[in-house]
Amino acid sequence: MSSASWPTAAHLSPANLEIVPIGRAHLAGFHAAVDSVAKERRYLAMLEAPSFTRTRRLVLDSLKAGAVHVVAVAAGEVIGWCDLRPKTAPTLRHSAVLGMGIVAAYRGQGIGSRMLAATLELAWARGIRRAELNVRSDNAPAIALYRRFGFVDEGTCRNYICIDGVDYDALLMARLAP
Ligand SMILES: CC(C)(COP(=O)(O)OP(=O)(O)OC[C@H]1O[C@@H](n2cnc3c(N)ncnc32)[C@H](O)[C@@H]1OP(=O)(O)O)[C@@H](O)C(=O)NCCC(=O)NCCS
């Protein structure tokens, strides 16, 4: 899918934006949204989305394993996602790793806040007791969002991400269930 099929930001209003659990009908849109954010080469560990087949498998497997995964849908198109994937080791299953992103044109309008609120509420209800993430230290909007939702810094992972030959630090941030 090309970005041409996303609705224009001007068409976005709280009335036509839904935050919903991901379903099979959203998989192609989710894949396109991940690919778009990854290709900015700034925010995600991946620089492009895995193939659609692999993405589909990863999502369906992680849902089976207890992940929470919501998407933001505007005028029928997926424009963002937020997921929390529980770790697999028996001693770490109470703990889940957060990932999120929004197609560039839709940022800074509170959609990330809505997705994160919905994801955390579902996660706590499901018994997840710790949410954690790594975020590039220079990603100020994401860090501001996480802090506002009670995530605290647990450390700096030095030279954690290497993009185009440049190393970047990342913050390890986490919050516990209320
Ligand atoms: C991070 C992201 C999901 C946030 O979603 P969003 O819809 O833009 O977030 P919101 O509009 O709900 O809130 C963003 C916050 O960042 C703040 N912000 C925006 N630009 C900022 C900047 N340049 N510096 C500091 N804070 C900034 C906003 O003011 C807001 O905080 P506030 O409500 O306390 O004022 C979105 O920006 C995104 O997709 N970024 C690219 C992908 C990414 O970084 N993913 C996370 C990887 S760990």
H helix or E strand, kind and range, residue 63: helix 52-64
156 burial via Cβ count (<10 Å: 0-12, 13-18, 19+) = exposed
Tell me the best of 30, 37, 119, 145 to mutate to test the pocket of ligand 1, counting ligand atoms within 8 Å of each CB and taking the most. 145
Q: Is the pLDDT of residue 162 over 90?
A: yes
The string of pLDDT tens digits covering residues 23-44 is: 999 999 999 999 999 999 999 9
């036509």: which residue's tokens?
16
Closest ligand 1 atom number to CA of residue 114:
12
The string of pLDDT tens digits covering residues 97-150 is: 999 999 999 999 999 999 999 999 999 999 999 999 999 999 999 999 999 999
Residue nearest to atom 42 of ligand 1 (CA): 101
Enter the CATH code of domain 3-132.
Answer: 3.40.630.30
- Which of 3-17, 18-32, 45-59, 151-165 has the least mean pLDDT? 3-17
Query: Considering the chain, what is the average pLDDT of its residues?
Result: 94
Domain ranges of the chain: 3-132
In the prediction, which pLDDT does 144 show?
Answer: 97
In the prediction, which pLDDT does 16 show?
Answer: 84
